[in-house]
Amino acid sequence: MSFPWAQEYTPKHPFMRWIDQRLPLPRLVYGSVGGGYPVPRNLNFWWNYGFLALIALGLQIITGIVLAMHFAPADTMAFDSVEHIMRDVNQGWLLRYAHSNGASFFFLVTYIHIFRGLYFGSYKAPREIVWHLGLVILLLMMATAFMGYVLPWGQMSFWAAKVITGFFSAIPLVGTAIQKWLLGGYAPDNPTLVRFFSLHYLLPFVIAGVVVLHIWALHIPGSNNPTGVDVKAPQDTIPFHPYYTAKDGFGAAVFLLLLAVMIFFLPNSLGDPVNYQPANPMSTPAHIVPEWYFWPFYAILRAFNTNFLWIPAKLWGVVAMFASIILLFFLPWLDKSPVRSGHYRPVFKWFFGLLIVDVAVLGYCGGSPPTEGIVMLSQVGSAYYFAHFLIILPLLSWFETPLALPNSISESVLHGEKAEAAPIGMGSGRPSTAV
């Protein structure tokens, strides 16, 4: 794929040659993640997170499949079967804590991956479809995480199902019918739990499929890089293997280390204690709140509390919450600045920093009880969120004067990051001389 100087797969062993002529799978691997895939030589550690997200997805699927062997998707049994996993199943506590904390880590690395794309302009041409597929993955992850959270059928599971499906009741005319259709009844009940279990088992494999498309689309233009300058010649690239496999390997070890610390020593620190009480439709928790990875969106939802232009506040909130993600699909056309990397955009850099702070503030607001002060703070935060993407970025691409770009990746490497400097086209590991 990608560049003309990509090294071709040449099987050395007769057996591999035999395989290659019949099923060129080794060739595919070599060309996608092996020595035959040239990658910009200047990727920094922010480029590790896509691989980390893939590891997280794998961990979730493996632990999830085993958990499903012990879980009973029925309203009278779900809570107790989770407790059975925690108490009686061999290493069941490990599986469940790995799965629940793994979900948090999956979102953490995915959010970092998205912010990396936002800063370095990875959504711009020619990578629009890579970006779109990534957003589809995000939406699927959110649906999967929400339905997974409902499965233990604790108090917060039940009320999360009630609140989230309640969003759809804000739609005029058909809203209530849609909510009833989603729940399989008037309130969360056994049909809700069973269909959520079915979909929670299905969607991760859909995610895996979209991940394949995401990587496929990525491999057409190849990775973006910290300069945002296109790859122009062989000296701009190095083979994926061993350079980025080694770098990703180190990143994966750090990721697993941090995840292990959470699983073994702080397994419940990210969860809500209320979910260790069985679901009770007759008793509403004092403070209904989603998991941390939904807090910014929850803050946006709650920020709209006054009817405006004859549209009810609830509908505004629901539309805004969905819009906060949908608008990202239009980002390649909202931000028309020809410069990709934030390094060379002096004004954008500041607004990007502000966006990070803004999302953190929204997260804080979403996790806190909605007092007057918190709601007003989330109104300001939400206003900036929408203004950033829909007003500031389009205007910036008109008014901002970017800094001078380096002529090529290798030039920026040679003049900037001396540590990774290497002159062009020398040595056996380089595609250009190996032809």
Q: Which residues inside 257-286 make contact with another protein, applying CB under 8 A? A: 257, 260-261, 263-265, 267-268, 273-274, 276-277, 286
Pick from 270, 380, 400, 416 the residue near another protein by CB under 8 A.
380
Which tokens go with 102? 């793994």
Show contacts with another protein in window 325-344 (CB under 8 A): 327, 330, 333-334, 336
219 is catalytic: yes
**Among residue numbers 208 through 227, which ones bind another protein (CB under 8 A)?**
none
Using a 10 angstrom Cβ sphere, with 0-12 exposed, 13-18 middle and 19 or more buried, the burial of residue 269 is exposed
- In the complex, what is the shortest distance from the CB of residue 201 to another protein, in angstroms, rounded to a whole number? 26
DSSP 214-245: HHHHHHTT----TT-PPP-SGGGEEEIIIIIH
φ, ψ dihedrals at 196, nearest 5°: -65, -35
In the beta sheet, which residues pair with residue 7? none
Can 248 be counted among the known catalytic residues?
A: yes
- Those residues whose C-beta lies under 8 Å from the C-beta of residue 184, and which sit 6 or more positions away, are 191, 192, 195
Sole binder of another protein in the list 136, 178, 313, 325 (CB under 8 A): 313
367 contact partners, CB below 8 Å, separation of at least 6: 289, 292, 295, 298
Of 137-145, 160-168, 305-313, 343-351: span binding another protein (CB under 8 A): 305-313
**Least distance (Å) between residue 195 CB and another protein:** 27
Nearer to another protein among residue 45 and residue 350 (C-beta): 45
Please list, in sequence order, all residues whose beta carbon lies within 8 angstroms of the beta carbon of residue 195, skipping any fewer than 6 positions away: 184
Q: What is the DSSP string of 147-215?
A: HHHHTT-BHHHHHHHHHHHHGGGGSTTTHHHHHHHHHTSSSS-HHHHHHHHHHHHHHHHHHHHHHHHHH
Query: Taking the complex as a whole, how short is the minimal distance between the CB of residue 325 and another protein, in angstroms?
Result: 13
> Minimum CB separation from another protein for residue 181, in Å?
29
> Among residues 186, 308, 310, 399, which is the contact residue for another protein, using CB under 8 A?
308
Residue numbers 150-209 binding another protein by CB under 8 A: none
55 binds another protein (CB under 8 A): no
> Measured between alpha carbons, how far is 273 from 276 in angstroms, rounded to an integer?
6
Total interface residues for another protein by CB under 8 A: 83
By CB under 8 A, tell whether 371 contacts another protein.
yes
| Contact pattern from residue 235 through residue 254 relative to another protein, giving x for each residue in contact according to CB under 8 A and a dash for the rest | x--x---xx--xx-xx-xxx
- The answer to the question of residue 80 lying near another protein (CB under 8 A) is yes
CB nearer another protein, residue 249 or residue 353:
249
Q: How far is the CB of 196 from another protein (least distance, A)?
A: 22
The amino acid present at 17, given as its one-letter code, is R
The helix or strand, by DSSP H or E, that contains position 33, with its residue range, turns out to be: helix 25-33
Which of 195, 232 has the CB closer to another protein?
Answer: 232
Q: Stretches 28-36, 140-148, 184-192, 393-401: which one binds another protein (CB under 8 A)?
A: 393-401
> Is the Cβ of residue 147 or residue 393 nearer to another protein in the bound state?
393
Cα distance between residue 364 and residue 86, in whole Å: 31
Ordered DSSP codes for 385-435: HHHIIIIIHHHHHHH--PPPPPSSHHHHHHHT-GGG---TT-STT-HHHH-
CB of 110 to another protein, least distance (A): 22
Shortest approach of another protein to residue 78 CB, angstroms? 14
Residues within window 31-50 making contact with another protein, judged by CB under 8 A: none
Q: Is 291 a catalytic residue?
A: yes
Judged by CB under 8 A, the stretch of 24-32, 319-327, 346-354, 359-367 that binds another protein is: 319-327
* Of positions 86, 136, 194, 210, contacts another protein by CB under 8 A: 86
Identify the three-state secondary structure at position 50.
helix
Q: Determine the length of the chain.
A: 435
Q: Specify the residue, 174 or 383, whose C-beta has the smaller distance to another protein.
A: 383
Q: Does 125 bind another protein (CB under 8 A)?
A: no
Of 226, 355, 389, 406, the one binding another protein (CB under 8 A) is: 389
The candidate with the shortest Cα–Cα distance to 301, out of 287, 285, 290, is 290
The count of C-alpha atoms lying within 13 angstroms of the C-alpha of 279, restricted to the half-sphere facing its C-beta, is: 27
Verify binding: residue 421, another protein, rule CB under 8 A: yes
For residue 160, the minimal CB distance to another protein (Å) is 16
372 touching another protein, by CB under 8 A: yes
Q: What's the number of CA atoms in the CB half-sphere (13 Å) around residue 281? A: 9
- Element at 39 (helix H, strand E): strand 38-40
Contacts of 273 (CB under 8 A, 6+ apart): none
Which residues are marked as active site?
219, 223, 247-248, 291
